[in-house]
Amino acid sequence: MKLFFDPRELDHAPEQELHNGGFVPYAEHPGRARDMLDALGATEPPPDRGEAPILRVHDAAYIDFLKNAHARWTAAGRGGDAVGYTWPIARRRPLNLERIDAQLGLFSFDASTPITADTWDSVYWGAQAALAATHEVLDGASIAFALCRPPGHHAGADYLGGYCYINNVAVAAQAARDAGVEKVAILDIDYHHGNGTQDIFYDRDDILFVSIHADPVTDYPFYWGHADERGEGAGEGATLNLPLPRGTTLAEYEPALETAMEEIAAFGPDLLLVSFGADTFEEDPISQFKLKTEDYPALARRIAASGLPLVVVMEGGYATDALGRNVASFLSGF
Ligand code: Q9C
Ligand code: ZN
């Protein structure tokens, strides 16, 4: 299995995040990628497919903002990383606001996803890694892995959040559609609901989104991921959310995965993309499921049993010393 990674993904390194009312060291740090690299062995850098595939799922104004936000923050006389502090609740109405603080609110949904001078470069190359893995499979490989960092599944067409800026799996899914793949399924097994991915494809019937995650009644991102969200318009029925309670172990996780895989089989996709987060691990510092390192191959085997071509895209996982081990354990099941 080929693993795709670009060293520029290491550059994005915010200093801190707002957590429960105080500032703490940033959980989504470059050491996560280093830990995975140590455990996984040789990776290859992705070719540069440009911005066009990114702009297929993200608004041009948002991408422009991402590229320039930190420079504008600095020009406003600020030090450190750019973070918003006020949000236009329910997008009150379209306004042409120039000030960086207004734009940060417009293009984000939380205060724990800072933009640094290096953010654009890292997220751009992470998206290229997802594209490389996708094209590897479109060219005939049965599976490929994209070591994307920062992660992507919380980012929507025009917003960042949850440590995510570009939605790597969404870019990959759309690239597959554009290459002629008719039906694409996305299985999201990060601990957190993939709100950005859901939003991007919510009204589409050509891309199925199925997610197993911590119940948003108790866990971030709260406002999405409830079981009654099933898609809208043409996409009605092409979204499936399977929320699980805190404390979930493999025994409770497996029936949800069975349901997810049956839904995917019924959809009849030509390609399956997996948003994989290792934050379902029992020792994850910000999450509350109880999966063990040795549980992950069973998940991979059930996914592989679909017989579908697979692209695995890295999402979260914050127990840094165990992260590489957990990802290697998951991939070993394929
Ligand atoms: N620190 C992913 O796993 N939590 N993102 C912020 C207080 C955000 C996790 C709240 C968790 C986002 C990709
Ligand atoms: Zn997560």
Ligand 1 atom 7 nearest Cα: 19
Question: Ligand 2 center to residue 213 CA distance, Å?
Answer: 9
Q: How many CA atoms lie within 13 A of 58 on its CB side?
A: 35
Res 119: pLDDT: 98
- Digit-coded pLDDT (tens) for 229-245: 999 999 999 999 999 99
- Digit-coded pLDDT (tens) for 158-173: 999 999 999 999 999 9
Q: pLDDT over 70 for what percent of the chain?
A: 99
Q: Read off the DSSP letter of residue 185.
A: E
Other CB atoms within 10 Å distance of the CB of residue 241: 22
The atom number, within ligand 1, closest to the CA of 110 reads 6
Q: Read off the DSSP letter of residue 328.
A: H
Place of tokens 């995040």: 17
Res 152: pLDDT: 98
Ligand positioned closest to the Cα atom of 150: 1
The atom number, within ligand 1, closest to the CA of 192 reads 3
Classified as helix, coil or strand, 16 is strand
State the catalytic residue, choosing from 12, 58, 135, 154.
Answer: 154
- Digit-coded pLDDT (tens) for 14-69: 999 999 889 999 999 999 999 999 999 999 999 999 999 999 999 999 999 999 99
The mean pLDDT value for 129-144 works out to: 98
CB-defined site of ligand 1, < 6 Å: 17, 19, 112, 151, 153-154, 162-164, 190, 192, 220, 277, 279, 315-316
Rounded to 5 degrees, φ, ψ at 66 are -55, -40
Question: Ligand 2 center to residue 221 CA distance, Å?
Answer: 10
- Digit-coded pLDDT (tens) for 184-223: 999 999 999 999 999 999 999 999 999 999 999 999 999 9
Kindly report the pTM of this predicted structure. 0.97
Res 90: pLDDT: 58
Res 97: pLDDT: 85
The atom number, within ligand 1, closest to the CA of 112 reads 6
Task: Check if 19 is active-site.
Answer: no
Contact 272, 264 (CB under 8 A): yes
Instruction: Using pLDDT thresholds of 50, 70 and 90, give the confidence band for residue 93.
Output: confident
Which of 274, 6, 235 has the alpha carbon at shortest distance from 126? 6
- Angle among Cα 117, 92, 77 to the nearest 5 degrees reads 30
Res 24: pLDDT: 95
